[in-house]
Amino acid sequence: MATHSFGSDNHSGVHPAVLAALAAANEGHAPAYGADAVTARAIGLVRDHLGGGAEVAFVFNGTGANLVGLALALRPWQHVVCTATAHIAVDECGGPERLLGTKLVELRTPDGKLTPDLVRASTSGVGDEHRTQPGAVSITQSTELGTVYTPAEIRALAGTAHELGMVLHLDGARLANGAASLGVPLAAVTTDCGVDVLSFGGTKNGLLGAEAVVVLRSELAPGLAYARKQLGQLGSKGRFLAAQFAALLEGDLWLQNAGNANAMARRLEAGVRALPGADVAWPVQANAVFVRLPAEMARAAETFGAYPPDEVTGLVRLMCSWDTAEADVDALLAALAAAREPASLRAAGGPTGSALQEV
Ligand SMILES: Cc1ncc(COP(=O)(O)O)c(C=O)c1O
């Protein structure tokens, strides 16, 4: 197995500056549960990026961040509209359904992105006491398919959600990758677009394990502390979560890390496009490359940590990370090229179309 993995952006380690910040936070004693100076500083830094009105709660993981954010958005009879590929729908073990008691209305999309028309079309039965009522629209930036919403697209979704009396929730496990891809500040795809509550991801961007729930709509903020505690996401030694965010946000580490991951994905995309038999499924926008590979190439990718091809789509997902180096990308490309044999190409039926696939 190659040491650098393309299986997930969670396979990378922790950025040295983050480890140094953790060591610094480890000096002496400090009040627990976020009542410490490091937490106050980190909240200030999040506000510097997302606006002075942001309410911030640091949490341990992305599933927990989504639960806390959505808990604030929903009444017990309301549902969440999301894509069928959303992490909340596919990869959270039914957490929102069980722990929030909500229903997810999962919409099929070609590119992992909701649109105002899709959201509008999903809202039937409004005012009918027999039906769940629309409570929140949840979008992911960058998406589970590696695509990126533009600020205009998010603004339009916020407008639609608000018109329908819904909250716009954003799963920003890869928020930094989305903003870096667009070349805009973090606020340009959140605060400035009318997002009401978001999960601000840190782990995939070089942290040890820290995310933040950020509430941008003041009416939702009063429940934040209670929801975090009730959902098991309040850390007693909170300074160690906060110190990581401070390291990410006090300079431009968030941008450097996300920018590198995105740049390496583009390098990988270019290399894969040059490999006969490999077919990039759609253009790379953030740090994920989705590709259809002949069987031998897919097996070669697995020796670089990639998961086997998706059971339904046949696509292999290759993820780049904050620490992916050009040499890592080139080593993977060389292995894919070496794995290619005419017989394997015949077995795989050759390249398929390069249009955006529905998954
Ligand atoms: C889109 C998205 N949301 C949220 C998460 C957070 O997951 P976790 O609970 O593993 O931190 C992930 C991680 O894979 C993700 O890809």
Query: pLDDT tens digits, residue range 192-213?
Result: 999 999 999 999 999 999 999 9
Best residue among 10, 87, 140, 290 to mutate for probing ligand 1's pocket (most ligand atoms within 8 Å of CB) is: 87
- Give the per-residue pLDDT at 359: 29
- Give the per-residue pLDDT at 3: 85
Reading the block at residue 4, the tokens are 């650098």
Q: How far is the CA of 63 from the centre of ligand 1 (A)?
A: 6
| Ligand 1 contact, 233 CB (< 6 A) | no
**Integer Cα distance of 178 and 147 in angstroms:** 8
Best residue among 171, 208, 244, 319 to mutate for probing ligand 1's pocket (most ligand atoms within 8 Å of CB) is: 171
Q: What does each C-alpha distance from 121 to 77, 105, 106 come to in angstroms? A: 19, 11, 12
pLDDT in tens, 13-34: 999 999 999 999 999 999 999 9
3-state class (DSSP) for residue 268: helix
Q: What does each C-alpha distance from 325 to 175, 202, 297, 322 come to in angstroms? A: 21, 20, 21, 9
| Ligand 1 contact, 171 CB (< 6 A) | yes
**pLDDT, mean of residues 87-100:** 98
Q: How far is the CA of 273 from the centre of ligand 1 (A)?
A: 28
The proportion of the chain whose per-residue pLDDT surpasses 90, expressed as a percent, equals 93
**pLDDT, mean of residues 145-157:** 98
Q: Is the pLDDT of residue 343 over 90?
A: no
- Give the per-residue pLDDT at 27: 97
| Ligand 1 contact, 173 CB (< 6 A) | yes
**pLDDT, mean of residues 87-107:** 98
Reading the block at residue 142, the tokens are 């960058």
pLDDT in tens, 260-307: 999 999 999 999 999 999 999 999 999 999 999 999 999 999 999 999
Starting at the earlier edge strand, list the strands of the sheet with 316-319.
279-280, 288-292, 316-319
Q: Is the pLDDT of residue 169 over 80?
A: yes
Q: How far is the CA of 82 from the centre of ligand 1 (A)?
A: 15
User: Structure pTM?
Assistant: 0.94
What is the residue with the minimal CA distance to atom 7 of ligand 1? 62
Confidence label for 2 from pLDDT (cuts 50, 70 and 90): low
Is residue 190 within 8 Å of residue 197, measured between CB atoms? no
Q: Is the pLDDT of residue 244 over 70?
A: yes
Q: Which atom of ligand 1 is nearest to the CA of 171?
A: 3
Phi, psi for 82 (deg, rounded to 5): -150, 175
Buried b / exposed e along 77-112 (16+ C-beta atoms within 10 A): ebbbbbbbbbbbbeebeebbeebbebbbbbbebebb
Best residue among 12, 63, 83, 307 to mutate for probing ligand 1's pocket (most ligand atoms within 8 Å of CB) is: 63
Average pLDDT of the residues of the chain: 94
